[in-house]
Chains A and B, each alone.
Chain A
């Protein structure tokens, strides 16, 4: 799977909303981008020091996006292409199939999109992210 949103560019998928929450989707289709909060359901326990996939040094957990966290909540910003009934068609997806979604929020640049930022240890690694994927995916692709 892609390891950062930039690595999920162009990948399309769907988010299926359980029918009892359908009324909450009203008016969402006018937004071009949405934030998904979800459960890292394949992740178990946590470690406070992790060696990120694209780094060779141990980092503090909260300075990484590693899935094994005290509260295993993931965050992705995806493009919303359309909504059909209870199904959101989205793009730039970096989530595993079957991921339980906890919340959907409209993406608002004034709040959610900062541009003048420092990204610490990730600075150098970030440039490589778009090309790099996690090991499992690499294997399936090479089979």
Chain B
């Protein structure tokens, strides 16, 4: 039988397995480290050129090997191989996490779900799996799955509508970037996002009227009318969602212009 020896240990803000995030949105801003044991550190060379790593680890608090599991949704018992339950044959866990940096054998990671003290068995570079998100079927999870990218973006506009921009910024990644190509501007980070909205010389409360919101598993496009009661504008926004939070937005604020006369015989007015 295969012999397993930890190559390192996780230091994490989640002290108990019960406090570990279960949904993508909850793990997005988690920061932690893997302490790789000195005898294995040579193997970390070149790993820092990757943005994500795959960790294989042991559910060390549960050596129960059950064949059924009750997921954290109200869906009843499932076969253990159709779940990510810790109580499974061989007690192996798997996580794809963000790699921030490596310093003296300490691997700094983000966006993860391991409890403090978790023994790490293997670290592999993450390579895109080539799975087309639109082809994926999620069985029983389909009905109860964590918020989709479209739902996350709808929630973003709902929060913008409250005019509480700090509240809206909770749905943004730490390294969030907003780009406005028409004015050649880029806004980096949550704090600047909040400030740019709060400091804008608005005439009244902002309203955000979402006309369309379409997308796939990670990219969402919205068509939104924005107004402060006086100014009326329209924004076409491409939002990129990862780990349940908005990572990047590219937003176009188109200007109206009069219909050219040369094609008047081919067109009709919209309204």
Contacts and interface: CB of A to CB of B under 8 A. Distances in A.
Interface string A107-143: 1111111111111111000100000000000000000
Interface in A10-39: 21, 23-35, 37, 39
Contacts of B46: 59-60, 63, 120-121
Contact of A122 (B96, B123, B125): B125
Interface stretch (B84-92, B185-193, B195-203, B221-229): B84-92
Interface residues of A, number: 59
Interface string B116-130: 000001111111111
Contacts of A23: 67-68, 79
Contacts of B124: 62, 65, 75
Given A26-B68, A33-B136, A75-B124, A63 B50 contact: yes
B125 A63 contact: yes
A1 interface: no
Contacts, number: 216
Contact of B45 (A49, A103, A108): A49
Residue of A27, A49, A108, A113 with most partner-chain B CB within 10 A = A27
A66 B84 CA distance: 26
B136 A71 contact: no
Interface residues of B, dominant DSSP = mixed
Contacts of A119: 49-51, 125-128
Given A75-B124, A112-B129, A119-B128, A30 B137 contact: yes
A5 B138 contact: no
B121 to A, nearest CB: 4
Interface stretch (B164-172, B230-238, B241-249, B250-258): B241-249
A107 B130 CA distance: 13
B124 to A, nearest CB: 6
Chain B's interface size range is 35 or more
B139 interface: yes
Nearest to B37: A70
Given A63-B44, A110-B244, A30 B82 contact: yes
B68, B128, B142, most chain A CB atoms within 10 A: B128
B30 interface: no
B44 A60 contact: yes
Nearest to B124: A65
15 contacts: A26-B78, A30-B82, A62-B43, A62-B44, A62-B53, A63-B44, A70-B5, A73-B2, A73-B121, A75-B56, A102-B2, A103-B81, A103-B88, A110-B243, A121-B46
